[in-house]
Amino acid sequence: AQTVTQSQPEMSVQEAETVTLSCTYDTSESDYYLFWYKQPPSRQMILVIRQEAYKQQNATENRFSVNFQKAAKSFSLKISDSQLGDAAMYFCAYRSYFTNAGKSTFGDGTTLTVKP
Amino acid sequence: NAGVTQTPKFRILKIGQSMTLQCTQDMNHNYMYWYRQDPGMGLKLIYYSVGAGITDKGEVPNGYNVSRSTTEDFPLRLELAAPSQTSVYFCASSLTQGSKNIQYFGAGTRLSVL
């Protein structure tokens, strides 16, 4: 079974600065997807960014980018120019490409605080 | 666009009571999921469904039941509520398990069992 580990329960960043959230995972599969979700106080789960394991290029969505290291099984999220609205809990998630009916395995989350 | 709708948003149950958490999606997604999120933790999969009439257990199915009689609806049933089932429950749906598969989540149901 796959596991996802987020080793930073809490992180803080100054507004306009850059922060990196860590995620590692364990799998024996070669094809899979990785996701970062944001969960603000409203509890709604919002997809931030996704990465296909077969792609070497790191995914980027505006101020959000990932550093995907397949051999190291690492998938960190970088938030540039942090904004107050970025404050939330962030979850890393893994999903198999071919199996498991699209089920996702989630990490325990990192709570991000943005200081004005 | 409604997306994934969960009802109710909040509920308090007494030990031993039963209830059904409703989930409906209007995106014609074939896959649907129920997760629970305990305080400070990630989401754990309870049950999932790959289509009408087909359901299967996830990581933490004990104490729950599901049914999928239509593509749109995927209710989660708690028969004998226990304090350990105090959690936030999320329903999600997705179209396929392929590369563009994205899970869309409902807003969650906060359940307390006292």
Contacts of A102 in chain B (CB under 8 A): 31, 33, 48, 94, 96-97, 101, 103
What does residue A95 show for φ and ψ, rounded to 5 degrees?
-140, 135
**Helices assigned H by DSSP within B1-114:** none
CB distance from B54 to chain A under 8 Å? no
Cβ of residue B109 closer than 8 Å to a chain A Cβ = no
**Paired residues of A106 in beta bridges:** A93
- Mean residue pLDDT across chain A: 91
Question: Would an 8 Å CB–CB cutoff place B88 in contact with chain A?
Answer: yes
Q: What is the mean pLDDT of residues B46-70?
A: 93
A6, A42, A101: residue with CB nearest B50:
A101
B94 to chain A, any CB pair closer than 8 A? The answer is yes
Residue B99: which pLDDT band, with cuts at 50, 70 and 90?
A: very low
What's the length of chain B? 114
Using a CB-CB distance cutoff of 8 angstroms, which residues of chain B are in contact with residue A61? none
Asked if A42 is an interface residue toward chain B (Cβ–Cβ < 8 A), one would say yes
Query: In this structure, which amino acid lies at residue A74?
Result: S
Say if residues B48 and A103 touch (Cβ distance below 8 Å).
yes
pLDDT of residue A77: 98
**Position B106 pLDDT exceeds 60:** yes
Q: Kind of pairing, strands B109-113 and B10-13?
A: parallel
Q: How far out from the chain centre does Cα A64 lie?
A: 10
For residue B40, how many other CB atoms are within 10 A of its CB? 10
Q: What is the DSSP letter of A58?
A: P
